[in-house]
Structure 1
Amino acid sequence: MSAPAALPAVVATAVHPAAARLLHTSDWHLGRNFHGESLLSEQQAAIDRLIELASNDEVDLVVIAGDLYDRAIPPADAVSLFNEALVRLHDTGAKIVAIAGNHDSAARVAVADQLLEHAGVTIRGDVARCTRPLRLDPDDSGPTVAVFPVPYLEPSVAGPVLRRLDDTDGAEAAVAPRRFRHYDVTDHATTLIRRYAASLGPVRTVVVAHTFVAGGITSDSERELTVGDIDLVDMSAFDGFNYVALGHLHRDQAFDNGRVAYSGTPLPYSFSEERDIKSVRIVEMDTQGRCRTEVVPLGVGRPLRTLRGAFDDLLVNSEFADAERARVRIQLTDLDLPLQAMPRLQQRFPHAVVLDHQPDGHVAAGSGDVASAVRSGMGPLDLTLRFWSELHGADASEPQQAVLREALAATGTEDDR
């Protein structure tokens, strides 16, 4: 299996000047918050940039590979933004294919799928329609591009549907009636797609899917599909297609010389992504189905920064000036946590959203954790001192111990020493 490709670009093979052009994006997560702060205005800016690219690059097809919204019942302003995005993308002259991801309600996002198809907009949520492609005839004298949108396949739901679909086609079921894995349903769906594509004559094939390909690099902002590794899908499930546009993983990455790829999110959705370059993929497919991909940075949204240091230094050090407009995670190294630390830090870093107290070079003198101390029958004062040590990374001083004794006495707890 190939390793994920690096930015800024993936080149499979050279293409002729005339080629079908696809814009691959995914995981918009419209309506998402970042530690309580709305991202909608930045998502709007990302969509503006996508529309600019689709128009300027004369894109034939825009692909949105799932997780259109951040939750199954999205807020009204997120729905309005998505509707507006579809209209504006359609106005560029491009056709649009979107699929439901694991965050989406398949029935809700695809409620008008069959009607919208007549206008060149496909929003696929129905697993039973995964073998029904959008047919694209770009002005490059090549064969039709058959685009197969495969919505997120929840194994327990998609498995029986695909088996019935296989039976309907008069073929032997590829998956036995047992507990389905993500690989099982994905491989079954793509087997059916290959079979249908073969009946179309000469075509170039694109599959759009929302899944976790084995070898992909995760971030902290994805929702796990399952517990353990049974959500992984082997690359072999996508053999034989000219291009596979994937969603679910939030980092841009590619396999098999760019033939199978994730575009990643248009914005960072966790601090694990603060060094990622958020981008989309512009794919040129020649008349033989060979692809050349350019990874185009979007350059929108507020950056993320993690700052580590002492409280007083963070407030004045010019080294941190570039973080003043960023969303900030602060790791304070002071032995004692200053009073009102976060509000005071936010005077300099207005978008600071996380404060971690991580004292440098101090280890609690006690041994074991507080839970084990409770189970050992330790007395109230000793438990309190143990908790203090675990919290602050050092034993309480004599004056601090005196305050703790007074506090226990005030609650009527007897000193057990």
Structure 2
Amino acid sequence: MRILHTSDWHLGRSFHGAPLLPEQSEIVDRLVALTSDRDIDLVLIAGDLYDRAIPPSDAVRLLDNALVRLREAGASIVAITGNHDSPSRVAVADRILERAGVAIRGDVSRCIQPLQFDPDDGGSPVSIFPVPYLEPSLARPVLDQLDRDTDTADTGGPHDVSRHDHTIAPSPGHQTPEIEEFQRAGHRRVSHHDVTKLATKLIRRTATASGPTRTIVVAHTFVDRGTPSESERDLSIGNIDKVGLDVFGGFDYVALGHLHRSQAFNDGRVAYSGSPLPYSFSEENDTKSVRIIEMNTEGQCSTEVVPLGVGRPLRTLRGRLDDLLNSPEFSGARGARVRVRLTDPELPLQAMAQIQRRFPHAAVLEHVPEGRKSPDGGDVAEAVANSDNPLELALRFWADQHGVEASEAQQVVLASAIHAATGESDE
């Protein structure tokens, strides 16, 4: 069985204001060609089909076009919703589409309902378990109920809490080490690890009950040891919850989405395809790709990472404005999306306008005079956190923007402006 794993299309996204839909349309063309040329049986799309919950109509039309053409190319399609998608909107016609060979799962309660394929390779059936993005506070009660229902169905008796993970609320009378740990933690916040561990436990239970099968899980999450980029959205406020790789043990292949860099773990059994286009300058040196998996009759997988080679490249250029505008060294970047780091001592007037005359797709301008530590504003951020003196903050900001300390005369002007704005002395 031959599988194409892709994810994080983010249809409708822009790059620093520049629409990406034309390049995303080229991505669809490339995926359809690969599906046809490589005789792909199954396309897995591991979440974030759209960039936002209510996508623009052009993005909706492009997804419709992609699904129709991939199906016409001979592949069945299994997709899940990611943290950028609206499950109720994206998966609205899932049940009827499944009859046509296209499944888009957004309903958490259906994550233990496998999609079964019977390849003509003589092996056991292949069961696909699509697990949409699990918002912990919303997914936990659904998964808890599934746990109770499936446990009762399996045993023919009442739900036995003592057999379950500490993610399940304990009932009186059961004092296992897991429950005692749960109680000591004071009913801690449910994490992505907790709900994913519970979901995969339920999937194993279902897969075992169905007899011999090759098992694939599709999920949208951030696994431990994964390498992020700057373009992913945090999965929790204030911190990113990571999921331990151990929760995916025992499956033949786990197709992940969320992280935009291609990467694999556990001998390639657990993998991110990465996004098909770069969505931040932190991905400037990444090779965007899809993964083609060949699964044999025993469930063993061999993987080929196939570069896509579509989309405008990214380049970071550093130097003085005059050099950037005139040196042949930078001529190859004319067609790229450009981030410019100007090293002039003072920021030239209308610098971006001048840069865009040579580099029409310039997207970011940073002023980084020689000797300045970094362009990320870290020094200013630290000053804001540690000082409540407005003049001190203004002077730090001035130095950060201009690369030099404010002169005595400039300090007087700044102090006067702050006094006029706040009615307070600069002392």
Could you say which TM-score interval applies, normalised by the shorter chain? 0.7 to 0.9
The alpha carbon displacement at 1:31 in A equals: 0.5
Asked whether the equivalents of residues 335 and 362 of structure 1 are also in contact (C-alpha less than 8 Å), the reply is no
The alpha carbon displacement at 1:172 in A equals: 3.9
When residues 196 and 339 of structure 1 are mapped into structure 2, their CA distance, relative to the original with a 3 A threshold, is same
Asked whether the equivalents of residues 395 and 411 of structure 2 are also in contact (C-alpha less than 8 Å), the reply is no
Correspondence for 1:240: 250
- Alignment map for 1:357-368 (pairs within 5 Å): 357-361=367-371
- Alignment map for 1:364-383 (pairs within 5 Å): 375-376=388-389
Ranges in structure 2 where 5+ consecutive residues have no aligned partner: 153-158, 170-186, 374-378
When residues 391 and 193 of structure 1 are mapped into structure 2, their CA distance, relative to the original with a 3 A threshold, is same
Correspondence for 2:215: 205
Q: Which amino acid aligns with 1:156?
A: S
- Alignment map for 1:185-334 (pairs within 5 Å): 185-227=195-237, 231-334=241-344
When residues 309 and 159 of structure 1 are mapped into structure 2, their CA distance, relative to the original with a 3 A threshold, is same
CA–CA separation in structure 1 for the residues paired with 2:258 and 2:312: 22
SS of equivalent to 1:257? coil
CA–CA separation in structure 2 for the residues paired with 1:203 and 1:312: 65
When residues 49 and 401 of structure 1 are mapped into structure 2, their CA distance, relative to the original with a 3 A threshold, is same
Count the aligned residue pairs: 390
Correspondence for 1:38: 19
- The structure with higher relative contact order (CA 8 Å, sep 6+) is 1
Correspondence for 2:183: none
CA–CA separation in structure 1 for the residues paired with 2:214 and 2:117: 10
Correspondence for 1:112: 93
CA–CA separation in structure 1 for the residues paired with 2:83 and 2:397: 41
SS of equivalent to 1:27? coil
Q: Which amino acid aligns with 2:18?
A: E
Q: Which amino acid aligns with 1:54?
A: T
CA–CA separation in structure 1 for the residues paired with 2:20 and 2:341: 23
1:338 paired residue among 336, 348, 352: 348
- Alignment map for 1:83-98 (pairs within 5 Å): 83-98=64-79
The reply to whether residue 128 of structure 1 matches residue 112 of structure 2 is: no
Asked whether the equivalents of residues 370 and 390 of structure 1 are also in contact (C-alpha less than 8 Å), the reply is no
SS of equivalent to 1:166? helix
When residues 360 and 261 of structure 1 are mapped into structure 2, their CA distance, relative to the original with a 3 A threshold, is same
Q: Which amino acid aligns with 2:124?
A: P
When residues 285 and 68 of structure 1 are mapped into structure 2, their CA distance, relative to the original with a 3 A threshold, is same
Range moving further from structure 2, 285-294 or 172-181: 172-181
Ranges in structure 1 where 5+ consecutive residues have no aligned partner: 1-19
CA–CA separation in structure 2 for the residues paired with 1:59 and 1:268: 25
Asked whether the equivalents of residues 384 and 393 of structure 2 are also in contact (C-alpha less than 8 Å), the reply is no
The alpha carbon displacement at 1:87 in A equals: 0.3
- Compute the TM-score of the two structures, normalised by the length of structure 1: 0.87
CA–CA separation in structure 2 for the residues paired with 1:102 and 1:229: 15
- Compute the TM-score of the two structures, normalised by the length of structure 2: 0.85
Q: Which amino acid aligns with 2:144?
A: R
Q: Which amino acid aligns with 1:347?
A: R
The alpha carbon displacement at 1:233 in A equals: 0.7
- Alignment map for 1:379-394 (pairs within 5 Å): 388-394=398-404
CA–CA separation in structure 1 for the residues paired with 2:206 and 2:143: 14
CA–CA separation in structure 1 for the residues paired with 2:385 and 2:146: 56
Q: Which amino acid aligns with 1:27?
A: D
Q: Which amino acid aligns with 1:339?
A: L
The alpha carbon displacement at 1:377 in A equals: 7.8
CA–CA separation in structure 2 for the residues paired with 1:168 and 1:377: 60
The alpha carbon displacement at 1:318 in A equals: 1.1
CA–CA separation in structure 2 for the residues paired with 1:58 and 1:322: 37
Correspondence for 1:13: none
SS of equivalent to 2:198? helix
The alpha carbon displacement at 1:384 in A equals: 6.9
Range moving further from structure 2, 163-172 or 73-82: 163-172
Asked whether the equivalents of residues 28 and 266 of structure 1 are also in contact (C-alpha less than 8 Å), the reply is yes
The alpha carbon displacement at 1:386 in A equals: 6.3
When residues 385 and 92 of structure 1 are mapped into structure 2, their CA distance, relative to the original with a 3 A threshold, is closer
When residues 48 and 313 of structure 1 are mapped into structure 2, their CA distance, relative to the original with a 3 A threshold, is same
2:41 paired residue among 60, 63, 70: 60
When residues 376 and 295 of structure 1 are mapped into structure 2, their CA distance, relative to the original with a 3 A threshold, is closer
Correspondence for 1:10: none
The reply to whether residue 355 of structure 1 matches residue 365 of structure 2 is: yes
SS of equivalent to 1:90? helix
Identity rate of aligned residues, in percent? 61
